[in-house]
Structure formats: C-alpha cells, structure tokens
Amino acid sequence: MSSPLFDLREMLAGQFAVTGRVISMANGVARVATAQGVVEVALDGGGNVGDRVSMRDGRAVRVQDAVEVSVFYV
C-alpha cells in the first residue's frame, strides 16, 4: 500500500521513477510522453517508438509488459 506523504517525499527527492511512451527517437535521445508532459531522455538498451519506458535521473529503460492477454474469436 502506498502512502501519499511517502510518494511526495520520493518525488521531491528525485527518486521517483516516471513512466511514459516513446513518441520519437533521434541520435540516442528519446522523446517520451508522460502524464506531466513530454521529456527528452537517453534511452538505455535501445527501443522503438511506442515502447513503454521507466525514467529516472535523465535515463530511460524499456519496460517489459508482463501481461498476457487472451484473444477470443467469435
């Protein structure tokens, strides 16, 4: 369970990881759309436009989606 006060302390300390989607890439710099706006960060390990990333300290790492979705045809 998360505490709003604890979350605020982490945000203010700069330790809070932000997630978003890559909207463009050029020369190793990715533009990422987040809930707070668009940010430019260095993308570690490569990636593509549309990938979900987690950002901290000006660097982004691709997030693996662990959700398996069942497809049903009718």
Q: Higher confidence at residue 68 or residue 33?
A: 33
Domain assignments of the chain as residue spans, ordered by start: 17-62
Mean predicted confidence (pLDDT) in 45-69: 77
Tell me if 26 sits within 8 A of 41, measured CB to CB: no
d(CA 32, CA 34): 6
Residues sharing a CB contact under 8 Å with residue 7, sequence separation 6 or more, in sequence order: 16
Per residue in 1-35, pLDDT (tens digit) is 567 777 777 667 665 568 889 999 888 788 999 88
Average pLDDT, the chain: 79
The pair phi, psi for residue 50, each rounded to 5°, is 100, -15
The domain 17-62: what is its CATH number? 2.30.30.140
**Threshold 0.85, pTM exceeds:** no
